[in-house]
Amino acid sequence: MKKVSCKVVAGRCNQGFHKVGDEYVVGDLTPEGICTSAFASIFPLILTIQTGGAFFWEKDKQVTRAACPDDDGVIFEIRPLDYKP
């Protein structure tokens, strides 16, 4: 399956799991260390990339951002791992 990069680009994790700069690579399995709330919120976007979809509302159709639903949640940038701007 196509690998996807999920990088924390902003925000603060109120549980202390994630910090800006953390990057998780998603292939066939859930990456170790990512909290379930954050992963559940970004999983549909990961699947979109893995199945060749695009984000029509974004300036760059291959890259999007999504926030963890927790209070003061982090923001992930989600893109194909092999993406070159």
Does residue 53 lie in a domain region?
yes
Percent of the chain with pLDDT over 90: 85
Confidence of residue 20 (pLDDT cuts 50, 70, 90): very high
Indicate whether 85 belongs to any domain. Answer: no
* Paired sense of beta strands 4-10 and 23-26, if any: antiparallel
pLDDT higher than threshold 80 for residue 85: no
User: pTM score, two decimals?
Assistant: 0.91
Q: Whole domain around residue 60: which residue ranges? A: 4-80
Average pLDDT of the segment spanning 40-61:
96
Q: What is the pLDDT confidence band of residue 71, given thresholds at 50, 70 and 90?
A: confident
Quickly count: other Cβ atoms within 10 Å of residue 1's Cβ. 11
Residue 20 lies in a domain: yes
User: Averaged over 17-26, what is the pLDDT?
Assistant: 96
The structural domain count of the chain equals 1
Query: Higher-confidence residue: 45 or 71?
Result: 45
